[in-house]
Amino acid sequence: MAKPAMAREAFFALRQEIARIEGRLADRLEVPAGVHPAAALPSGMVTRRNGEAHQQDACIATGLEAFDGSLGGGVPKAALTELHGREGRNAGAVAGFALGLISLLLKGLSVIEPIVWISVAGFFREAGHPYAPGLLQRFGIAPQHLLVAETRKLEEALWLAEEAASLGRLAAIILELPGNPQRLDLTATRRLHRRAVISGRPVFLLRQLARPEPSAAPLRLVVSPAPAGLRKLLTGPLAGSIGPPGFTVDVSKSPTARNDVFLLEWNDDEHRFEYGQPASADHGAVVPATRGAEGAAAASGAVLALRRPLTSAPGHQLPGRQRPEDLRAG
């Protein structure tokens, strides 16, 4: 008689342990120990959605129901988030998406805290230095709130990111690294993630030209550029103009395990994300003109082992809309 009860007890203990490792609330009513007080509600109340404990204000909500739902509520505030760029020349889009999220985060803060952008020597030269006037114009991030660090070695960048993450006085930490360095393994990402969880500050790991590998980040988004929307005039959209920047966001790893692809646009007047319009009529197909042979940049990283036909052909990606169907079919 006692045996099933014991087994159930052990089962619940395991579930709680898993929840603790994953950094989310266990399925119970009080706020468990180890969760940052800032992440919980002042009253200690925990709301439940779909049978799962859900912390309000624990995520950077974009306000887009489907996108947030696919990520399990939004991009978590107290966690490591990986943003991947398949090609080096997507660095602008990947950084732009991260900065958009940070801009949303800063909007909710009463006192603006600085953000820090860390990279290793030579990378900014390759992908472009952060440029304050552009950041201010597009994302409303003032230059005095942006710290930029370029370290000589990867170890130093990781040290700096860890220190910044555990400081608790920085609104967000961006760590931008190229490729798949050995030192950036499960342990390193786990250290970053733990510090983010404890201090309640998001760490965005921007990885350019990296193949996805196991990491402690609960969320991995692959960001690619998408054609911008049109500028809106009083008389309507202005044909041929380059308006709000577009992003194709491929949710490659998330707590909900839904592999969705979204086309988002950054509205720099309102400072929020919106759903983008799929390729407009005057634009034609969104397929690169350079197909492989001449002039194409080398594929980003190695072809990966996941059975996803789309990712195996970088550079030939299809419009975002078509992807989920393909995935389900495959």
Partner 1 sequence: MGIADARAMHPAIDVVEQDIAADRRLLEGLADWCDRYTPLVALEGTEGLFLDITGCAHLFGGERAMRDDMLTRLFHQGFAVCCGVASTPGAAWAASRHTRADPSPDCAQARAEPRADWKRAIVAPGREEALVAPLPLSALRLDLATRDGLESVGLRTVGAVLDTPRAPLARRFGKAVLLRLDQALGRVEESISPRLPVPPLSVERAFAEPLVQLEDIERLVLALGAALKQDLERRGEGARKLDLLLFRVDGVVRRISVGASRPLRNPLLMQRLFRERLATIGETIETGYGFDLIRLSAVQVARFDSMQMDLTGAAGDHGDDMALFADRVRARLGEGVLMRQAPAESHIPERAVTMAPVAAAMAKFSPATVLSAAAARKRDRPIRLFKPPEYVDVTAAEVPEGPPSHFRWRRAAYTVARAEGPERIAPEWWCEDDGQARDYFRVEDTTGRRYWLYREGFYGADGMQPRWYVHGMFA
- Contact set with partner 1 (CB under 8 A): 89-93, 95-97, 99-100, 114, 116, 125, 127-140, 142-144, 146-152, 156, 159-160, 163-164, 167-169, 224-228, 240-242, 245-246, 248, 266, 283, 286-290, 294-297
237, two tokens: 């959209």
Q: Residue 116 pairs with which residues in a beta bridge?
A: 147, 173
Residue 211 and residue 73 in contact, taking contact as beta carbons nearer than 8 Å? no
Task: State which residue, 218 or 314, has the beta carbon closest to partner 1.
Answer: 314
User: Least distance to partner 1 from the beta carbon of 191, Å?
Assistant: 17
* Comparison of 27 and 156: residue with beta carbon closer to partner 1: 156
Measured CA to CA in angstroms, residue 109 lies from 75, 112, 165, 179 at distances of 16, 6, 17, 33
The minimum distance between CB 290 and partner 1, in angstroms, equals 5
CB atoms within 10 A of CB 255: 17
Residue closer to partner 1 by CB (options 92, 255) is: 92
The torsion defined by the Cα of 188, 192, 198 and 199, in degrees rounded to 10, comes to 150
Q: Which is nearer to partner 1, 228 or 327 (CB)?
A: 228
Whose Cβ is closer to partner 1: residue 64's or residue 296's? 296
Question: Which pair of tokens denotes residue 190?
Answer: 């786990």
Burial class (CB in 10 A: 0-12, 13-18, 19+), 42: exposed
Q: What is the distance between the alpha carbons of residues 144 and 167, in angstroms, rounded to a whole number?
A: 18
**Of 48 and 152, which CB lies nearer to partner 1 in the complex structure?**
152
Instruction: Kindly report the length of the chain.
Output: 330
CA–CA separation, 30 vs 166, rounded Å? 25
- The least distance separating partner 1 from the CB of residue 47, rounded to whole angstroms, comes to 30
Rounded least distance, CB 207 to partner 1, Å: 16
CA neighbours within 13 Å on the CB side: how many for 97?
A: 30
- Residue 2 Cβ vs partner 1, minimum distance, rounded to whole Å: 47
Q: Which is nearer to partner 1, 78 or 263 (CB)?
A: 263
Shortest CB 156 distance to partner 1, Å: 5
Please, what is the minimum distance in Å from the beta carbon of residue 88 to partner 1? Answer: 8
Look up residue 315 and give its two tokens.
Answer: 């550079």
Q: Shortest distance, CB of residue 74 to partner 1, whole angstroms? A: 20
Which are the contacts of 49, defined by CB distance < 8 A and separation ≥ 6? 73
- Per DSSP, 75 falls in state E
Closest CB to partner 1 among residues 17, 163:
163
